[in-house]
Structure formats: structure tokens, C-alpha cells
């Protein structure tokens, strides 16, 4: 799979934000297998870009295509197919089912298009130090724990692209590295691309390309 | 793929139970009302079907002009234009005049039955007669005249015969009695031998063949064209509202017995149709209430449903899975209503109608078909509503 951006620019952006950007208003493509690191200060449209790429918003000029399919023409049904098989995400605002248990949060994603067996959930949770939280209601977990739940959830499905929007903002250094390691490992299993957007450079993320937004 | 059980915890279905149960009960009551009304409608049709007087699925009715104080003394016979108008009406299949004799006729039964009376004769198109024996023909020069006699007249005769010292007659004997018809002509009395060849349940008259009537009217009465005082109409439904209102408008008089059932049937069917309409209304209200419940449930679970869609759940799959949850509920509701209607029908036939044969104790197939259609419609409506609400989220 390939994601192609052609002169993408949010409709609500002022011109001065665009001038120094390596992404906005440019034409570029992200190919399967090469990791992309997007570095951007606050307010430069990091989350907006990730949402554009995932198809949650379409208030932009230009085109974004999955392979040669312009996603502006996708309906909810078509998006659901791509999201089940080709593209996964860790949201900055996590988007978990707060009233359900951690396990329910992970299982609801896993059973949709299972990449792992159910017992792998516990193994991943153990690696990221949240195994004891699996039976707890999600809203009782700390933000850092919830961030790790969101990361594990994103790894339950097959994907060509893994979109990460500031995935470590509430994690300490050790947990960041563990989480990155797990994600890179899972990405390799699928020969997939990680597109990581963060405020600053993540040194332990092995990326082929770094782009400043 | 996951099942409804997997996504159920993500939907806040447990709340707002009252409106959900109210809508279930409403739907059940509505379906019961509709099904029993349809069954009752069919029952009324079965019970009030007038099986005897119909021929080829048609009713034959005698029509005269109503005689009032105002039109007394005037010519109240039907003109050719009246007849043409009646024939042209869509709810009247055919019409024919009853031609009466234009000369004086006297009948006597000879020496066996010492009885003599002035008589009237009529003739009618054979298509309108219920019994036409092959002998009911007359040719010029024939001395015998066949007669079709009204069963009612026969009954009347047998009622007053004993008081007049006359013998009562059976149907068979009646046909063997020879009657002498004395026709008064301008040249004197001409006698014919008459014989009753059939009795008619339908026509209250003394009928002779058309050929005889025409010949006699021309030769004895001196008229060849006679306007009839009454006509017979053939209609597929003697109880049709259009026919009744036409007759009323024209001030035509009919045998009320013929249309009495029709009026009762019309009123009963109107009541039952009203009930069925009310049933449909209750069903619609219940569906509306249920749609409010669904909207509320989906609104309350909006964030979770939206997140499921964001995570890659297909809106089509979600709609089908959520909608499927109510299929057993609808099946139970409609089947219960159907069962209750069947019990009501059985009780009606057994306890109210005392096992009358013309009424079946079981449900009519139309009721079962309506129940099936209602079930399918409820399921489809529910699915479409859920789908619409979910696609709005996506």
C-alpha cells in the first residue's frame, strides 16, 4: 500500500504556517516498509494531518490517496475496510471505551480482524507493564496506562501503515522505549510503515525519512 | 466477525426500559386488533353470505316505482329511457321488464277445485328466471299455456284454502291441476288450458311465456308496446352502496329483504374496518415509540458507536447486527398476537356461534399472511431505522 499526498492544505490554515513546511502543500508519497518521522511544534497541524491521513476529516484542499483511491470519495463502509486491513492508529486523545475493561477495549479491536491470538494480548500487556490492569475498568487507569492500552489496541490488527499521534506524551523514558520497541517489532512482522508525529525527535525511532511540518 | 454479544456492552440498551416495554405492548395490542378485525371481517362475510337466492354469483331484485300520495293516479310505469339508464349502470349486470297482461283474465280450476278468481299474468325474459322447464314455451295456435307460479302464492293458497273448504295442494299436485284461463277479448271470452310447470322462489308473480303475452296483449288488449310497472335487475352485489343510493335517489322500491343483510353487513364491516384502522394506528404509534427508544439508545451510545466505526467496524455490519437483536422480539410479539387471535376465533365459533358449520374455528389464511407481512415489515422498518441512525454517525 502507498499513501500519496498531493498539495494537501487545511482549508482553515494561514499562509505563514505553510511556508516552512515540508508536508503542507507538497506532493509526496509514503511507501510501505519505510518509517516516517514527522516533527512539529504545537499548533502546526500534527493531529490534523494524522486525522486527514486516517480519513476522520476532509476539510483540506488537495488530495490524499490510498494507492490510487482518493479518500475524499470514500464512504463510511469503504473506510471501514481499509481501517480493518491496512491502516491502524494511536490517537493523541487515545479514544478508548472508558466504561469498559481494558481487556474489552483490546478484544473489541482484536476480534474485528484478528492478527494475534487472544493470549497475545496478555503477553503484550505484560511487556508494557499493564497486565494487572486488564480486568480493570479503563477510566480507572492512569493516562499513561491508557496510552499503553491504546498502543496495544493498535497492534491487534493487520496493517500496512501505523499512524502514531504523540503516542508517548504521558510515558516515562523507559516505557516509551519499550512501547517503541514493541511497535517496531509488530510493524516488521507486517512489513509495515510507522508514521510517527511528535513534538520533538524520538531518537530511538528508526525512521527512513524525517519531515518537519 | 464479532457478534451482537460482543458489542452489546458498548450500547446503553438497559436504560429507558419503560418506553421499550410500552412499545412492545403497543405493537402486540395493535397487531392483535388488526388480525382479529380481519378475521372478524371474514367471519361476517361468511355468516351473512346469502347462498340461496344467488345464481351465477348474482342477485336478482324486483324494482318498482314507489307509490306516494303525490304520484298516485299518475303513470308510474318504467319508460324505455328508465330501463336504458338502469342497464347502463356499472353495478347492474342486466335488467328486464316484467310485461303484464293488458286484458282481463280469470282463472278457474274446473270442478275438482271450485275456485275462480280474477288473475294477473306477467312475462319476463327467461334469463331472469330461476327455474325454466323445457315445457315453458308457447306458439300461436297452442291451446295450452304453461305457467310458472310463485312459491309464495302457493303458500298463501295453502294457508287460506282450508277456511274456504278448498283442498290444500302439494307442489306435485299443483302441477297436475288444470286451470282454465278465461281471456276477455273484444270479441268475447277465449279459454286456454293452463298448467303450472314450475314454482319460482325468486319471482312473485304468475308467469307465462313471452310469446303468449305479446300475442295476447296485441290480439286481446290491442297494444303491442307495454311500459312495465316493474323490472328485474341482475347485479353482482345487491348490497353495493352505489346500487342502494341509486335506488334511493330515483325513489325506486325494492324488496327490502334482499338488501337488509347488505345494510347489516355494511354497518358491521364498517365497525370492524374502523377497528382494523385503529389497530393500524396503534401499530404505527408503537413503531414510533420504538423508533424514539432506538434513537435515544443510539444517541446515548453515540460516542461508543462512533468509536467502533472509527476503529474499523462496518456501519452496514453494525446496523444488521444491532437490528437483528430485535428479530426474536418481533417474532414473539406477532406470534403471540396470532395465537391469541386463533384462540379468540375458536372461542367465537364455539361459544358465541355454537359451532355453526359455515364458520371455521380456525384462522383464515389471509390473517396468517397479514401476520407474516407485518412481521417482515417490522423487521425491515427497524433495520432501516437503525441503519439510517448509524450512517448518520459514520
Q: Please give, rounded to a whole number of angstroms, the shortest distance from the CA of B304 to a CA of chain A.
A: 7
In the prediction, which pLDDT does B260 show?
Answer: 66
B326 touches chain A (CB under 8 A): no
Helix ranges restricted to H, B240-255: 241-249
Residue B241 pLDDT grade (very low, low, confident, very high; cuts 50, 70, 90): confident
**Whole-Å CA distances, B53 to B95, B128, B201:** 17, 12, 8
How far is Cα B386 from Cα A8, in angstroms, rounded to an integer?
35
Domain boundaries, chain B: 4-49+262-393, 59-237
How far is Cα B144 from Cα B131, in angstroms, rounded to an integer?
19
Question: What is the rounded average pLDDT for all residues in chain B?
Answer: 86
How far is Cα B274 from Cα B278, in angstroms, rounded to an integer?
6
Range in A50-54, B228-232, B234-238 with the lowest mean pLDDT: B234-238
Top residue of A58, A76, A95, A155 to mutate, by most chain B CBs within 10 Å, is A76
Q: For residue B203, what is its C-alpha cell?
A: 319471482
In the prediction, which pLDDT does A7 show?
Answer: 92
Q: Determine the Cα angle at B262 with ends B258 and B267, to 5°.
A: 150
> Domains in chain A: how many in total?
1
Q: For residue B101, what is its C-alpha cell?
A: 297482461
How far is Cα B1 from Cα B20, in angstroms, rounded to an integer?
28
| Residue B188, C-beta contacts closer than 8 angstroms, at least 6 positions apart | none
Give which of A27, A34, A21, A32 is closest to A4, Cα–Cα: A27
Count of CB pairs separated by less than 8 Å, A with B: 49
| Residue A59, C-beta contacts closer than 8 angstroms, at least 6 positions apart | A10, A11, A12
Is the pLDDT assigned to residue A140 strictly greater than 90? yes
Give which of B47, B48, B17 is closest to B296, Cα–Cα: B17
Question: What is the rounded average pLDDT for all residues in chain A?
Answer: 93
Give the CATH number of the domain where residue A201 resides.
3.40.50.300
Q: For residue B229, what is its C-alpha cell?
A: 310497472
Give which of A92, A97, A199 is closest to A151, Cα–Cα: A92
In the prediction, which pLDDT does B35 show?
Answer: 93
Residues of B in contact with A157 (CB under 8 A): 312
Beta carbons of B224 and B214 less than 8 angstroms apart: yes
How far is Cα A176 from Cα B346, in angstroms, rounded to an integer?
75
Range in A200-204, B75-79, B254-258 with the lowest mean pLDDT: B254-258
Specify the higher pLDDT residue, B288 or B338: B338
In the prediction, which pLDDT does B52 show?
Answer: 47
Kindly report the backbone phi and psi dihedral angles of residue A82, in degrees, each rounded to the nearest multiple of 5, phi listed first.
Answer: -65, -40
Is the pLDDT assigned to residue B276 strictly greater than 70? yes
In the prediction, which pLDDT does B53 show?
Answer: 46
Q: What is the pLDDT of residues B354-392, one digit of tens each?
A: 888 878 899 999 999 999 999 999 899 889 988 988 888
Q: Please give, rounded to a whole number of angstroms, the shortest distance from the CA of A15 to a CA of chain B.
A: 31
In the prediction, which pLDDT does B394 show?
Answer: 65
**Whole-Å CA distances, B299 to B12, B17, B139, B386:** 9, 15, 91, 11
Is the pLDDT assigned to residue B16 strictly greater than 80? no
> B76: burial class by Cβ within 10 Å (0-12, 13-18, 19+)?
middle
Do residue A77 and residue B10 have CB atoms under 8 angstroms apart?
no
Is the pLDDT assigned to residue B310 strictly greater than 90? yes
Burial readout A176-212 (b: 16 or more C-beta within 10 A, e: otherwise):
bbbbbebbbebbeebebbbbbbbeeebeebebeeebe
The DSSP letter of residue B24 is H
Do residue A80 and residue B9 have CB atoms under 8 angstroms apart?
no
In the prediction, which pLDDT does B262 show?
Answer: 65
How far is Cα B92 from Cα B233, in angstroms, rounded to an integer?
7
Please spell the DSSP secondary structure of A127-139, one letter per residue. HTT-GGGTTSBGG
Q: What is the pLDDT of residues A47-73, one digit of tens each?
A: 999 999 999 999 999 999 999 899 999
Give the chain A residue nearest B12 (alpha carbons). Answer: A99
Residue B49 pLDDT grade (very low, low, confident, very high; cuts 50, 70, 90): low
How far is Cα B38 from Cα B32, in angstroms, rounded to an integer?
10
Q: What is the pLDDT of residues B177-225, one digit of tens each?
A: 888 889 998 888 888 999 889 888 888 889 999 999 999 999 888 888 8
How far is Cα B387 from Cα B317, in angstroms, rounded to an integer?
9
Residues of B in contact with A111 (CB under 8 A): 1-2, 6
Q: Domain limits at A89?
A: 2-212
Closest in B7, B10, B312 to A80, CB measured: B312
Burial readout B215-227 (b: 16 or more C-beta within 10 A, e: otherwise):
bbbebbbeeeebb
Q: For residue A126, what is its C-alpha cell?
A: 505484560
Do residue B304 and residue A157 have CB atoms under 8 angstroms apart?
no
Q: Determine the Cα angle at A37 with ends A32 and A43, to 5°.
A: 125
- Distance, C-alpha A185 to centroid of its chain: 15
Closest in B304, B307, B311 to A112, CB measured: B311
Give which of B48, B35, B33, B31 is closest to B268, Cα–Cα: B48
How far is Cα B163 from Cα B287, in angstroms, rounded to an integer?
72
Share above pLDDT 90 across residues of chain A, in percent, rounded to a whole number: 81
How far is Cα A199 from Cα A18, in angstroms, rounded to an integer?
17
Q: What is residue A176's three-state secondary structure?
A: helix
Residues of A in contact with B13 (CB under 8 A): none
How far is Cα B138 from Cα B181, in angstroms, rounded to an integer?
14
Do residue B1 and residue A107 have CB atoms under 8 angstroms apart?
no
Do residue A108 and residue B310 have CB atoms under 8 angstroms apart?
no
Top residue of B10, B312, B319 to mutate, by most chain A CBs within 10 Å, is B312
Amino acid at each position: 500500500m502507498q499513501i500519496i499526498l498531493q498539495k494537501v492544505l487545511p482549508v482553515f490554515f494561514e499562509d505563514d504556517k505553510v511556508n516552512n513546511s515540508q508536508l503542507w502543500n507538497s506532493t509526496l508519497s509514503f511507501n510501505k516498509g519505510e518509517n516516517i518521522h514527522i516533527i512539529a511544534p504545537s499548533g502546526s497541524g500534527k493531529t490534523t494531518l494524522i486525522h486527514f491521513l486516517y480519513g476522520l476529516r476532509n476539510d483540506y484542499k488537495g488530495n490524499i490517496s490510498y494507492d490510487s483511491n482518493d479518500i475524499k470519495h470514500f464512504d463510511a463502509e469503504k473506510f471501514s475496510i481499509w481501517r480493518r486491513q491496512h491502516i491502524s492508529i494511536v490517537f493523541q486523545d487515545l479514544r478508548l471505551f472508558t466504561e469498559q475493561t481494558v481487556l474489552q477495549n483490546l478484544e473489541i479491536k482484536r476480534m474485528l480482524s484478528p492478527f494475534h491470538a487472544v493470549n497475545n494480548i496478555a503477553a503484550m500487556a505484560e511487556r508494557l507493564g499493564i497486565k494487572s490492569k486488564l480486568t480493570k475498568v479503563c477510566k480507572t487507569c492512569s493516562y499513561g496506562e491508557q496510552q499503553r492500552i491504546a498502543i496495544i489496541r493498535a497492534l491487534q490488527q493487520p496493517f500496512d501503515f501505523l499512524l502514531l499521534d504523540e503516542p508517548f506524551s504521558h510515558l516515562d523514558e523507559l516505557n516509551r522505549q519499550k512501547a517503541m520497541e514493541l511497535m517496531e517489532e509488530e510493524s516488521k512482522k507486517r512489513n509495515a510503515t510507522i508514521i510517527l508525529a511528535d513534538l520533538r525527535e524520538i531518537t530511538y525511532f528508526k525512521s527512513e525519512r524525517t519531515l518537519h511540518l | 466477525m464479532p457478534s451482537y454479544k460482543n458489542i452489546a456492552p458498548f450500547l446503553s440498551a438497559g436504560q429507558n426500559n419503560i418506553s421499550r416495554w410500552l412499545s412492545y405492548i403497543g405493537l402486540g395490542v395493535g397487531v392483535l386488533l388488526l388480525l382479529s378485525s380481519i378475521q372478524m371481517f371474514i367471519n361476517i362475510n361468511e355468516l351473512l353470505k346469502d347462498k340461496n337466492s344467488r345464481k351465477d354469483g348474482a342477485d336478482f331484485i324486483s324494482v318498482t316505482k314507489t307509490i306516494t300520495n303525490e304520484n298516485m293516479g299518475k303513470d308510474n310505469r318504467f319508460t324505455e329511457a328508465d330501463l336504458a339508464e338502469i342497464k347502463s349502470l356499472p353495478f347492474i349486470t342486466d335488467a328486464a321488464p316484467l310485461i303484464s297482461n293488458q286484458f282481463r283474465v280469470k282463472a278457474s280450476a274446473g270442478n275438482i277445485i271450485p275456485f275462480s278468481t280474477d288473475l294477473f299474468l306477467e312475462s319476463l325474459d327467461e334469463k331472469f328466471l330461476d327455474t325454466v322447464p323445457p315445457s315453458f314455451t308457447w306458439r300461436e295456435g297452442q291451446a295450452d299455456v304453461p305457467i310458472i307460479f310463485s312459491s309464495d302464492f302457493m303458500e298463501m293458497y295453502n294457508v287460506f284454502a282450508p277456511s274456504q273448504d278448498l283442498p290444500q295442494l302439494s307442489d306435485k299436485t299443483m302441477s297436475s291441476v288444470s286451470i282454465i284461463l278465461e281471456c276477455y277479448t273484444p270479441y268475447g271470452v277465449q279459454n286456454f288450458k293452463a298448467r303450472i310447470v314450475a314454482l319460482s322462489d325468486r319471482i312473485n308473480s304468475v308467469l307465462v311465456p313471452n310469446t303468449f303475452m305479446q300475442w295476447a296483449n296485441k290480439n286481446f288488449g290491442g297494444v303491442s308496446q307495454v311500459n312495465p310497472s316493474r323490472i328485474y335487475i341482475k347485479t353482482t352485489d345487491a348490497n353495493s352502496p352505489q346500487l342502494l343510493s341509486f335506488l334511493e335517489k330515483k325513489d325506486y322500491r325494492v324488496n327490502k329483504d334482499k338488501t337488509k343483510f347488505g345494510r347489516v353487513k355494511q354497518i358491521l364491516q364498517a365497525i370492524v374496518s374502523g377497528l382494523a384502522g385503529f389497530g393500524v394506528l396503534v401499530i404505527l404509534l408503537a413503531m414510533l415509540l420504538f423508533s424514539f427508544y432506538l434513537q435515544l439508545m443510539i444517541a446515548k451510545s453515540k460516542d461508543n458507536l462512533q468509536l467502533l466505526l472509527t476503529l474499523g467496524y462496518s456501519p452496514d455490519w453494525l446496523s444488521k447486527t444491532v437490528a437483528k437483536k430485535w428479530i426474536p422480539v418481533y417474532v414473539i410479539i406477532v406470534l403471540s398476537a396470532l395465537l391469541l387471535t386463533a384462540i379468540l376465533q375458536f372461542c367465537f365459533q364455539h361459544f358465541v356461534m355454537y359451532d355453526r358449520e359455515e364458520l371455521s374455528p380456525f384462522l383464515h389464511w389471509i390473517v396468517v399472511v397479514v401476520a407474516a407481512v407485518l412481521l417482515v415489515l417490522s423487521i425491515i422498518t427497524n433495520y432501516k431505522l437503525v441503519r439510517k441512525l448509524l450512517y448518520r454517525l459514520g
